[in-house]
Amino acid sequence: MAAVEVSPREFTFVFYDAAVIEEIAARLLEDIGLDRHVRIEIDETTPLGRVQVISLEPLVVSVQGGAFEDTRRPRQLGADRVSDSLGRVLMRARDRLDPAFGDPPPDDELSLAQSVAWDAYGVGRLAGLGYPAQRQRRLYHFRNRHGFTDAADRVFDRLWNGDGLTWADIEAACAETEESRTPVG
């Protein structure tokens, strides 16, 4: 089983439990097949919700405290939020570490459409593993970046239900939705 380290160990601004976060992260790593040590650095001083992998070697995830917060109980840890937020970026890290996936650009160079398409693919796989996934929320987010069209919905379904896709497949999906929005003539 992969080792997980959460920092800080004790929280003073929020009522989080490092051991619970470690347990959820270890289960995610096992379920998605990522056998790596991971360090999760949480900035508990901010209610914002950004989560990002800041290093693959070693695997380090930076988390703004709001990303793990229960949406109905301020400053309390939400287990579903941890698995959703952390699972999404760990799935992306797994893709990046798999040579068969291809060579996507760094996260800060991805277009919004590419990022949202990749998230649909990653979170869809998490849903397939039994994790809560908020499919309708992801579909709406996808439509905002790829268009409110039947073609975009078909592409979303293909990504959401996909397995074994590559970066080239993500790029092709983005090109397909772009083409469906481009007026003819």
CATH number at residue 93: 3.30.2010
Token look-up 């992801």 returns 138
Regarding whether 15 and 72 lie in a shared domain, the answer is yes
Regarding whether 123 and 82 lie in a shared domain, the answer is no
Q: Of 97, 123, 150, at which residue does a domain stop? A: 97
Which two tokens mark 151? 């073609």
Q: Of 73, 97, 121, at which residue does a domain stop? A: 97
pLDDT along the chain (185 residues), means of 10: 90 96 97 96 96 96 97 94 97 97 97 98 97 95 96 98 97 95 66
pLDDT per residue as tens digits for the range 127-155: 999 999 999 999 999 999 999 999 999 99
The pLDDT, as a whole number, for residue 2 is 72
φ, ψ (nearest 5 deg) of residue 52: -150, 150
What Å distances lie between residue 147 and 29, 117, 150, 152, 175, CA to CA? Answer: 33, 12, 9, 6, 12
The pLDDT, as a whole number, for residue 180 is 86
| Pair 71, 81: CB distance under 8 Å | yes
Tally of structural domains, the chain: 2
Regarding whether 92 and 14 lie in a shared domain, the answer is yes
Please list the residues that pair with 52 across neighbouring strands: 62
**Domain containing 92: what range?**
4-97
Regarding whether 79 and 129 lie in a shared domain, the answer is no
